[in-house]
Chains A and B, each alone.
Chain A
């Protein structure tokens, strides 16, 4: 064991002891979970969200590590349009190019993040990519056959949310809220391979740890949120919008699946279901946890509620205009 600060040097033996203890107690733990319906449901939903997110997270950190190697902040700002508004629009459009769920886009956005227009563009990309990429668009088309206006409304409202949040950041955002710093290969002579593996390692550990918090919160809420909630939403637009927006946050579904869940909530009117589809990929409990892990808590407690309000408002307005009041 190398001499580092005491708590750090103790962590390896503690980890080994913890794993051995869990192995010894394994059957007891297992029995406890299997015997309780609530615990097994929560455990399965937790595992579902975590395992489902892992491949997207792996893809995300590989991309973010490539960004760490090849894309410097100066290079990015040279590529992007100079004016913040134009940079934000370009970032929103490029969100269509990253197929996957929202978990992968948080580490990528953190790597792309920089001063001024670059920061606004990175955040716009983070919000746009999970909502308007081809896989999500196709699954929305499949889930709502014969209702192309639902697809247009979803893409439109998500783009508006991403752009508004990007512009809001370039106007009111403060870089001191970003308290989490990324390890950079400082000494210039580090090989590209070393930079790549260090960036991927850091981003994976950081994002996956916070994903654990988010998945656990979502699993707990799954067990707590009652099923009968939906049945009482028919015909109540405002209440429906609010409940579905909150539900999108607490259920933390992946953006490729949420269209099917929304489609199956047939007793809820279309506009609240659109709100569900627009809010979910932009802000939910697991994204909040991951954002506070990658960017910092001061950032997340401002950005996530603002995104929630903007996404809910954008989806409601677009929904009423495009879908009307139809059930």
Chain B
């Protein structure tokens, strides 16, 4: 591959990074907190490509020091076309629950029981599903007890009823896992009519558990009300 083509691909990789970062699609692949680093990366890669292109034009010809006959400049750089095409033209969707490992969540089994900070004030503060799981399993202060909370997730049909799920990623989509809670109570019965993976905002109270540090037991939410909503921009929790 020629030097200009390599520079052009380098530029395209930088542009692809910038596009998924500014367009928000990056949250389908990595944690939202990676935003500043992706921005810096896009600037570095685009800058590197522009500097190389400008330097080659000013020089009038590419420097010889990395040809030198023995150079391994081969065709491997063509592979960079793959992420460019995938990220710019295809932009794969966020993971569906079926693709996430079917286990509870990212917390471990034997954990120090400790009191958690109280939930925010308000009638029904929003709590993420992983947070519900962690508090239900490990919270000795009982911050979930007798509190109305709001959770957001998608429906997962089960034999005994409906579960509310959320895909959790820790670093990138390669380590995705599925977090779920049971939805129960009279108000939950009609949720069975929704198709799989309907996004819901649910208000309810978590049935007090034992907080015994067993993260494999799935907590149950007694539903008071449930509203159908659009899928959030960042579908991961």
Which residues from chain A sit less than 8 Å from chain B, CB to CB?
2, 4, 8-9, 11-12, 14-16, 18-19, 22-23, 25-26, 29-30, 33-34, 37, 40-41, 43-52, 54-55, 57-58, 62, 143-147, 179-181, 183-187, 190, 194, 197-198, 200-202, 204-206, 208-210, 212-213, 215-216, 218-219, 222, 227, 251-254, 256-258, 260-261, 263-266, 293
Contact = CB atoms under 8 A, between A and B. Distances in A.
Interface residues of B, number: 82
Interface string B147-166: 00000000000000000000
Contacts of A15: 1, 5, 8-9, 81
Contact of B172 (A8, A49, A190): A49
Nearest to A13: B5
28 contacts: A8-B2, A11-B1, A12-B2, A12-B8, A14-B5, A26-B89, A40-B92, A43-B86, A44-B93, A44-B94, A48-B29, A48-B173, A52-B29, A52-B34, A55-B38, A58-B44, A62-B44, A146-B112, A187-B65, A198-B65, A204-B45, A205-B6, A209-B78, A212-B82, A215-B83, A263-B108, A266-B103, A266-B108
Interface stretch (B66-74, B190-198, B202-210, B224-232): B66-74
Contacts of A40: 92-93, 96
B99 to A, nearest CB: 4
A19 B111 contact: no
Among B12, B28, B110, B175, the most chain A Cβ lie within 10 Å of the Cβ of: B175
A52 B52 CA distance: 25
B181 interface: no
A293 B73 CA distance: 11
Contact of A260 (B49, B94, B106): B106
B13 interface: yes
A261 to B, nearest CB: 5
What are the nearest 3 A-B pairs in CB distance?
A48-B173, A257-B171, A43-B92
A54 B41 contact: yes
B98 interface: yes
Given A55-B37, A145-B108, A222-B174, 5 more contacts: A25-B89, A45-B95, A55-B38, A55-B40, A216-B82
Given A33-B90, A55-B38, A201-B48, A180 B79 contact: no
A51 B92 contact: no
Contacts of B80: 205, 208-209, 212
A186 B95 contact: no
A50 B196 CA distance: 30
B215 A266 contact: yes
Nearest to B91: A30
B40 A181 contact: no
Contacts of A145: 108, 111-112
Nearest to A30: B90
A44 B29 contact: yes
A51 B48 contact: no
Nearest to B104: A264
B187 interface: no
Contacts of B173: 44-45, 47-49
Nearest to A16: B8
A33 B89 CA distance: 11
Interface in B45-81: 45, 48-49, 51-52, 55, 61-63, 65-66, 68, 70-72, 76-81
A264 B17 contact: no
Contacts of B63: 198
Contact of A34 (B52, B93, B169, B215): B93
B220 interface: no
Contacts of A198: 52, 63, 65-66
Given A33-B92, A212-B82, A183 B40 contact: no
Contacts of B215: 266
B38 A54 contact: yes
Contacts of A257: 170-172, 174-175
Contacts of B104: 264
B89 A256 contact: no
B223 interface: no
Contacts of A253: 171, 174-175
A191 B114 CA distance: 58
Contacts of B55: 194, 197
Contact of B72 (A181, A184, A197): A181
B101 interface: yes
A185 B110 CA distance: 55
B48 A197 contact: yes
Contacts of B61: 2
B106 to A, nearest CB: 5
